[in-house]
């Protein structure tokens, strides 16, 4: 189902024109589930403004893999998922089967599933896997060259003085598997995180974070070293979380498809608990 916009309008209105028989409740659900695309890019914000000439399309019903893993997109080359909080990305010494990778391997067997990048166990959000060796190799190149758009939302302790800025350091992992900052370029790898404060309360700030590089625990370390550890991040000084989880969510992943050259963009709505804790714009 497709529709070409005849003039600028909100996404909800464009979706209504695309499917005039559908109720607004259904349209809203389709958008939230990631079924509606604008020029082949998934958009999940009902307030999104669609321009004249842009194509609105409705994708198939959302599917899930075992473990509550939402499939945001799949083709013969790659699959994009929405990882739940608390689920390992890949197997570890203490867990082999309850992982995103294991569940996807079960879903796509006998095909192989290749791990392109990882999210920490307690981080939720958008994650990408390859389904062919060619796609895997090309996607890894994108990550190495940092030609990937990766944005996160975090709830951190305290109120930042600067409302936007950049954290830049070299990071290394010590013998206890704790990542640390260093000024020694020979000891660590360059890590760059851009941040913007989207709201705050007396106790917490809500940050929108854009990764220029993608090191292990990069955001968590940068927040902690700046004096604003992520709520619930016990490993890096965040203490107990008021919502009983690490307050870090991978909300956006954008890249050029390695085979088709199409621009791909996927978003995962922030957990509602984040919104209740620190709404956007709260001052």
Alpha-carbon distance 219 to 152, whole Å?
9
**Helix (H) or strand (E) segment spanning residue 221:** helix 218-225
184 is catalytic: no
Strands (E), the chain: 2-4, 9-10, 36-38, 41-42, 49-50, 55-58, 63-65, 69-74, 78-83, 114-115, 124-130, 149-157, 164-173, 179-182, 189-200, 204-211, 248-256, 263-267
Check if the beta carbon of residue 8 is closer than 8 Å to that of residue 51. yes
Helix 24-32 and helix 11-18, axial crossing angle in degrees, nearest 10: 110
Looking up tokens 């920490």 gives 120
Check if the beta carbon of residue 121 is closer than 8 Å to that of residue 91. no
**CA distance readout (Å), 51 to 6, 18, 43, 48, 275:** 8, 14, 13, 10, 28
Angle at 159 between CA 156 and CA 164, to 5 degrees: 85
Residue 94 CB neighbours (<10 A): 6
Check if the beta carbon of residue 243 is closer than 8 Å to that of residue 147. no
Residue of 223, 248, 242, 279 whose CA lies nearest to 154? 248
Question: Of 82, 120, 122, 233, which is the active-site residue?
Answer: 120
Looking up tokens 């956006």 gives 252
Give catalytic residue positions: 120
């Amino acid at each position: 189902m497709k529709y070409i916009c005849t003039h600028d309008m909100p996404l909800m209105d464009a979706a209504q024109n695309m499917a005039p028989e559908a109720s607004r409740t259904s349209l809203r659900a389709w958008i939230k589930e990631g079924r509606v695309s604008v020029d082949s890019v998934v958009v999940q914000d009902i307030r999104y403004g669609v321009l004249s000439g842009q194509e609105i399309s409705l994708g198939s019903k959302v599917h899930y893999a075992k473990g509550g893993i939402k499939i945001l997109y799949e083709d013969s080359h790659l699959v994009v998922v929405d990882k739940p909080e608390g689920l390992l990305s890949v197997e570890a010494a203490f867990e082999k089967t309850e992982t995103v990778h294991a569940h996807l391997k079960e879903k796509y067997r006998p095909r192989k599933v290749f791990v392109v990048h990882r999210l920490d166990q307690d981080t939720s959000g958008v994650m990408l896997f390859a389904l062919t060796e060619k796609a895997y190799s090309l996607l890894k190149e994108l990550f190495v060259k940092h030609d990937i758009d990766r944005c996160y939302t975090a709830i951190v302790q305290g109120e930042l003085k600067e409302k936007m800025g950049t954290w830049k350091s070299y990071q290394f992992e010590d013998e206890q598997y704790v990542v640390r900052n260093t000024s020694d370029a020979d000891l660590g790898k360059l890590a760059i995180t851009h941040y913007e404060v989207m709201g705050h309360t007396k106790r917490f700030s809500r940050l929108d974070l854009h990764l220029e590089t993608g090191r292990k625990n990069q955001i968590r370390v940068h927040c902690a070293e700046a004096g604003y550890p992520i709520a619930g991040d016990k490993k890096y000084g965040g203490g107990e979380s008021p919502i009983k989880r690490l307050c870090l969510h991978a909300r956006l992943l954008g890249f050029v498809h390695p085979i088709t050259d199409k621009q791909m963009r996927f978003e995962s709505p922030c957990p509602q608990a984040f919104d209740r804790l620190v709404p956007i714009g709260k001052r």
